[in-house]
Structure 1
Amino acid sequence: MATGKLYIGRKVRDLRLANLATQAQFAERLGISVSYLNQIESNQRPVSAAVLLSLADKFKIELSELSGGEGNRLLSALAETLTDPLFAGHSATLQEMKMVVNNAPGVAHALIAAHQAYRHNSERLASIDDTLGRVPTTVEQTPYEEVRDFFHFMDNYIHEIDVVAEKLAIEIGIGDQDSYAALSSHLEKTFRVRISRATDSEDLMRSFDETRRVLTLSPYLTPATRNFQLALQIAQLSAAAVIDQILGNAAFRTNEAAEICRIGLHNYFAGALILPYRKFMEAAREVRHDLDLLSVRFGTSLEQICHRLSTLQRPGQKGTPIFFARIDRAGNITKRHSAAKLQFARYGAACPLWNAHRAFEAPGQIVRQLAETPDGVRYLCIATQITKGGRGFHTPRQNFALALGCEISYAEQFVYADDMELGNRTAFDPIGISCRICERKNCAGRAVPPLKSQLVIEHFKRGHLPYRIA
Structure 2
Amino acid sequence: MADRKLFAGHAIRRLRRQAGLTQAAMAEVLTISPSYLNLVEKNQRPLSGSLIVKLAESFDFDPRALAAGEPGGGEAALRRRLADPMFADLEIDRNELEEWLAAAPGGAEAFARAFDRIGAGGPVAPGALDSVGEVRREIERWRGYFSDLDTIAEKLADELRLGAGDLYGAIAERLRVKHQLTIRVLPVDVMPDLLRRTDLHARQVQVSEMLDPASRTFAVAYQLAEIEARSEIDGLVKGAGFTDRAAERLYRRHLASYFAAAVMMPYARFLRACEATGYDIELLQRRFGAGFEQVAHRLTTLQRVGARGLSFFLVRLDRAGQASKRFSGASASPLAEADGRCPLWQIHAAFDRPGKLVAQLVELEDGARWFTIGRTVAPQGRRFGAVTAEFVVGLGVAAEHGGALAMARGVDLKGEAMPIGLGCRACGRGHCPQRSLPPAGRALVFNERERGVSAFTFGGD
Q: TM-score, normalised by structure 1?
A: 0.88
Q: Which residue of 1 aligns with 2:16?
A: 16
Q: Distance in 2 between matches of 1:448 and 1:345?
A: 21
Distance 1:313 1:228, change over 3 A: same
Q: Distance in 1 between matches of 2:90 and 2:355?
A: 48
Q: Which residue of 2 aligns with 1:54?
A: 54
Alignment of 1:69-468 (within 5 A): 73-98=73-98, 100=100, 106-116=106-116, 118=118, 122=122, 137-138=125-126, 140-173=128-161, 177-201=165-189, 202-203=191-192, 204-338=194-328, 339-344=330-335, 348-424=339-415, 427-468=416-457
Percent of residue pairs bearing the same amino acid type: 35
Q: Tell me, what secondary structure is at the counterpart of 1:180?
A: helix
**AA partner of residue 19 (structure 1):** A
Q: Tell me, what secondary structure is at the counterpart of 2:321?
A: coil
Distance 1:216 1:354, change over 3 A: same
| Maintained 8 Å contact 2:347/2:374 | yes
State the 1:24 CA deviation: 2.5
Deviations along 1:339-366, whole A, 9 cap, x unmatched? 2242247664311111211111222222
Worse-superposed segment, 139-148 or 210-219: 139-148
| Maintained 8 Å contact 1:389/1:398 | no
Deviations along 1:299-341, whole A, 9 cap, x unmatched? 1011011111112233443321121111111111111122224
| Maintained 8 Å contact 2:71/2:109 | no
Q: How many residues align?
A: 456
Q: Distance in 2 between matches of 1:418 and 1:40?
A: 44
**AA partner of residue 373 (structure 2):** I
| Maintained 8 Å contact 2:403/2:413 | no
Distance 1:300 1:440, change over 3 A: same
State the 1:261 CA deviation: 2.1
Deviations along 1:95-135, whole A, 9 cap, x unmatched? 443455577555334323433555588477xxxxxxxxxxx
| Maintained 8 Å contact 1:30/1:54 | yes
Deviations along 1:273-318, whole A, 9 cap, x unmatched? 2222222222212211110111111110110111111122334433
Q: Distance in 1 between matches of 2:19 and 2:371?
A: 37
State the 1:208 CA deviation: 0.8
Q: Distance in 2 between matches of 1:357 and 1:166?
A: 35
Q: Which residue of 1 aligns with 2:6?
A: 6
Q: Distance in 2 between matches of 1:307 and 1:450?
A: 32
Q: Distance in 2 between matches of 1:418 and 1:58?
A: 39
| Maintained 8 Å contact 1:368/1:380 | yes
Q: TM-score, normalised by structure 2?
A: 0.90
Q: Which runs of 5+ in 1 are unaligned?
A: 125-136
Distance 1:186 1:421, change over 3 A: same
Q: Tell me, what secondary structure is at the counterpart of 2:307?
A: coil
Q: Tell me, what secondary structure is at the counterpart of 1:398?
A: coil
Q: Which runs of 5+ in 2 are unaligned?
A: none
**AA partner of residue 312 (structure 2):** I
Q: Distance in 1 between matches of 2:288 and 2:336?
A: 32
| Maintained 8 Å contact 2:313/2:336 | no
State the 1:410 CA deviation: 0.8
Worse-superposed segment, 300-309 or 356-365: 356-365
| Maintained 8 Å contact 1:174/1:274 | no
